[in-house]
Amino acid sequence: MPRVWGGRTLETLLGRQLPGPGPWGESWEVSDRPSEQSVVSSGRWAGSSLHELWNFRREELFGDNLKSSRFPLLMKILDSKDDLSIQVHPPAQIAPLLGGSPKTEMWYIARALPGSKLYVGLRKGITRGQLEEAIRSGSMENMIHSVEPRAGQSIFIPSGRLHAIGAGMLIYEIQQNSDTTYRVFDWNRVGLNGRPRDLHVRESLASIDFTDYEPAMDQPKGQNLATCQHFKVDFLELSTGATICNPDPDRFSIITVTNGEIQDKRGNVYSTGDFLLLPRGPVALDAVKSTSLLQTTLPY
């Protein structure tokens, strides 16, 4: 996806062939959106879209008692050469009133250049009135809390949390299958078309959690980075020759290789930045060398 804040790290760090000169900010790796479909690249179901598998092979590949009409997650890689807009996603109880869809997400920091920042939540004591005045005056950056993350850290972003990714990061994002984002401030810049990008001030003010002050980066609970009603994300480190499989053989998982290499039983090797669907059943992958990965599943 071309983005005004994007760069070329997907090419230089992950070896992706980009469609043009860019800037490229997002790669939608696991997507069942009407206009953006993931297609299986190898294996028995090569050539099938995620939507086809979800609709026609759901119980066989994913498990039973999964009711949503589309695959419920959207998984991306984000390359922020510049700051993203300060934005918010609407909570479930607000989204239908605004014509959008709720979105809760989490970020895993794969790379963070020195001084890179995440903007998350409000600075302590900031009121709605102060925020509205800052929006009018174009000084929003003084209202929002910031942290300087390290590679390997993560943070949960519930819907309603004011947030922005700062420049100099590569991030794996796992979220609800939604594309509703309300921009409240865009650093007074223009978009790729040379005009200011649309802002959604009314919708943002209706969505922001004004009690969300100064959140910190998350502290993992063992191997678990995030668990909510929408997803469960674990971080695993494998030694050479170790095997990874689904924690529940009756349910699927998505593997994201964050460093290293793993291979399937046919000898296909997958490396940093690759996303793989492990269908239900006794499917396993082996670490070719020391490897770290994210394993994402759906909660019961």
Residue numbers annotated as active site = 183
Which among 11, 36, 23 is positioned nearest to 179, based on CA atoms? Answer: 36
Pairing of strands 275-278, 253-259: antiparallel
Give 166's DSSP letter: P
Which among 110, 101, 121, 117 is positioned nearest to 76, based on CA atoms? Answer: 110
* Residue carrying the six token digits 């984000």: 78
Query: How many Å apart are CA 88 and CA 65, to the nearest integer?
Result: 31
Length of the chain equals 300
CA quadruple 260, 26, 18, 10: dihedral positive or negative? negative
Q: What is the 3-state secondary structure (H, E, C) of 77-116?
A: EEEECCCCCEEECCCCCCHHHHCCCCCCEEEEEEEECCCC
